[in-house]
Structure 1
């Protein structure tokens, strides 16, 4: 216990770890007995992991040999790190800090910095003399306005996380982070400009690691127009996920087509977006919900063989042009579902309009549809397609269609409920059509069942309680996809 150690013996301490506060703040000085200059005597302290008001007032200094400093709920406005050249890790989570240091501080061993949920922090300091930082977390610093220009040239920075820095306006004008693999700027809604990116940032070392440590940029940049978007994204050639929702694009920036590994593109709430062409060739997931000006798309069913998740909710202007309507009709054709069935892949689509394709043999009014499964056909069934029309409004942004399936046979019932991943909200006079293909292998309770001669009852509804007014379903058999396999 620290209260049992006198100041003459403090020099022998190498580590202090206090996971929880043992006393109220007002009792610290009396019971723990550490003054502001207590650390001055701790010459051998290597680890300091504490919480709250550990000293009676702001410490005058911290030990120069300290390797790791973690101070949660730091109660003072500044932290004396001037002489801490051996520091490897710095963690300050929540607290009253307003600034860390002015000018340059020589910290050659610093690799990990976590400054999280510091509501009074407005700037991040000069780190030009701390060139070995590998991970920097500034998430939840809601009043942070800018970071120092020196951060942009950190060659060894692997991860930069600034999620929830709501007032952040200025990043370094140029980034040359040759080791960067993760950049997170979600909810940085005040960011005025995305930095220029060095052409040397090719990331060749992560191309073979993409499955276990993919590069991600989640910048929910607001108010970005086509003229402000980076002209060259080749530096992010390994990018797999990109969220540009809420921006002022009129058409998709041409540089996005350079992202050859991009799998998921989100353009929700881009209310000025009119034209959606030239997507990355290997795109798999496309969300462009509530793009109320969108009036021109290309043939998504033919041009992009990997695309299996399409969501265009509330894009009603697409139905005004005959060519666009023809493309939407092609997406509803059975051939797209067969293509997914060949590779045992599921399909999800949400599109404007009220059409239910003719190839669905079972169509009925209401939100439930029953499929009678013929006897002795269990091995031939590979999945089923579902379609539902939802009129009027989907009143919340993140309501997902829910599929409830019940298999009935010989008086026994098996239930399974699944929330589909189609995203977005819709407000439309004619409503929206949702269509999906599901493999039987994705419904685990059915895998061990003999489906022959049973009945599969499927219902479609939203979490709000709104139900499909028309629904359809169809079983898919191996023979349905044999022709595609041969081709």
Structure 2
């Protein structure tokens, strides 16, 4: 079969019935002669050696390759097979074979006479393999294959339920791929793999624990455990000083991270989406190299433990100065977020959707390169601080009420009385009220200072000129300054202000007359009605016309810093920078005057006095 100079063979057969054609060899030769390429060459080789593939086949869907023709291929380095059965003595496989990929191997174990000592890559994915070598794993020692093996993949070999203690014989192993196996644990001897760089265990649904010896894998850079049944990580994981990637997605039984995780100084990526972890260790901020942190909860986000409302970020979190992306969707983070977020100076993407905090830190504006801020379904969020000018995307879908500095309301709000008209096949789903309010704190009012809201605006439904529904718009958060504040409040379809509406009704939004509290001035107010499909668009809306954009997208553009604000912020920063640069300049001038010019002048004066006196 073939020639001794053959270096690689790739045979990938899908199990199906092929008609046998006696002229196939001639046809494939003519095609190779007309269009010499890799595909036509493989087709010709198949026809030449068909007798080896089909000899002894039980039916037309089986492909059998005899190992005898491989014996003469002294230079064979690559052998890739799929849906092929090897027959014959496995000693015929060249000893210097480097790469063997045998997907969907029908054997339960490789025979003990399989001994290509130069083998560095062995891929048996999607096979029926139960044991890699013989009935006893110690055959690895006897045939010396294990000594040079660098990559071993038994992905989706669901018949493998355990790894042998003799796995320590894989002295040169760099990558071990165990995806989709039925293993329940790793043997303690796994810690003896001193060269292991990558360990992958996706969809090992029966894996319940990791041994403490995993901390001995000092060369490990990637540890992937996805959709496993582990409940905790061993404390020894903190000794993996070279670990760069730790992925724990969909490990929904994992409830805590060990305190030692803060010692992973090289960790760049921590992906733990869909776990049951509800708090981060206090020393979490010691992950000085962390760049990507994704820990979103499994959907639906409202399925959280009863104590979820107590979740807060550790005080050390702001030390993650290299963090670029932070995703904490559904963590039910409550209360106030620490006000030193500006220390996360490398942050570019921040996703805090589906959380229960009521405000964002004012230091958020200090994140000078933040370009994406996601806050959907943060229903308790009341106050939005000034945002950084670098923002390109701000997502606020289903935020009920919000306040922020500003003196204008969106131009798509109606400031006059609105006449409601029913729309064909489009029911009304909500109403958004916006107002610009300022508070004069020089005018005393005990009630205003005690209330957490400002009862300054009233919305009415008028039917035939008579009010049938009155609603006080409770503007959350009393501003501490005299500056104008913009308030947004969204009413759902179940609220009387929406559910009572009938065709022809009028909606009036205005300041209470007389006012309930003193010192409050409502400068502008308006309303926008939300109908079915007005807020259902999914995708990038940047290229759409303003009339086609969803309500959420319009609100996003409204709260995003305007070009004028951006220009003002940049000018302010430049002036501050110039002032900072000017200060050393003034100090240098003072130094020159007091320590160079003045002594020189005094020396000259003394010389003149000496000349004239003498």
Question: Larger % of strand: which?
Answer: 1
- Give the CA deviation at 1:68: 1.4
Whether the 8 Å contact between 2:394 and 2:556 is mirrored in structure 1 is: no
Whether the 8 Å contact between 2:227 and 2:251 is mirrored in structure 1 is: yes
From the superposition, tell whether residues 10 and 99 of structure 1 become closer, same or farther in structure 2 (CA, over 3 Å).
Answer: farther
CA distance in 2, matches of 1:472, 1:303: 20
TM-score by length of 1: 0.63
TM-score by length of 2: 0.51
1:47-446, aligned counterparts within 5 Å? 47-55=99-107, 57-61=108-112, 62-63=114-115, 65=117, 66-80=119-133, 82-83=140-141, 84-96=146-158, 97-102=160-165, 105-118=168-181, 120-125=182-187, 126-162=189-225, 164-175=226-237, 176-197=239-260, 201-203=264-266, 215-220=268-273, 222-226=275-279, 229-233=280-284, 235-246=286-297, 248=308, 249-271=310-332, 273-278=334-339, 280=341, 281-282=343-344, 283-292=347-356, 294-295=357-358, 297-302=360-365, 304-319=367-382, 325=383, 328=384, 330-331=385-386, 336=387, 339-340=389-390, 346-350=392-396, 351-353=399-401, 358-359=407-408, 362-364=411-413, 392=492, 402=539, 404=541, 416-417=543-544
CA RMSD of aligned residues (A): 4.1
Question: Larger % of helix: which?
Answer: 2
Query: What is the aligned partner in structure 2 of residue 476 from structure 1?
Result: 563
CA distance in 2, matches of 1:225, 1:457: 41
Query: What is the aligned partner in structure 1 of residue 514 from structure 2?
Result: none
Stretches of structure 2 lacking an aligned partner (at least 5 in a row) = 1-48, 53-64, 298-303, 415-427, 431-486, 494-529, 577-614
From the superposition, tell whether residues 238 and 165 of structure 1 become closer, same or farther in structure 2 (CA, over 3 Å).
Answer: same
Stretches of structure 1 lacking an aligned partner (at least 5 in a row) = 23-27, 204-213, 320-324, 368-386, 406-415, 418-455
From the superposition, tell whether residues 184 and 10 of structure 1 become closer, same or farther in structure 2 (CA, over 3 Å).
Answer: farther
The structure number with the bigger radius of gyration is: 2
CA distance in 1, matches of 2:174, 2:203: 20
Aligned length: 371
From the superposition, tell whether residues 457 and 233 of structure 1 become closer, same or farther in structure 2 (CA, over 3 Å).
Answer: closer
Whether the 8 Å contact between 2:104 and 2:127 is mirrored in structure 1 is: yes
CA distance in 1, matches of 2:555, 2:366: 32
Query: Could you report, residue by residue, the CA deviation over 1:135-178 in whole angstroms, capped at 9, with x for unpaired residues?
Result: 1222232332223322222111111122x323223433222112
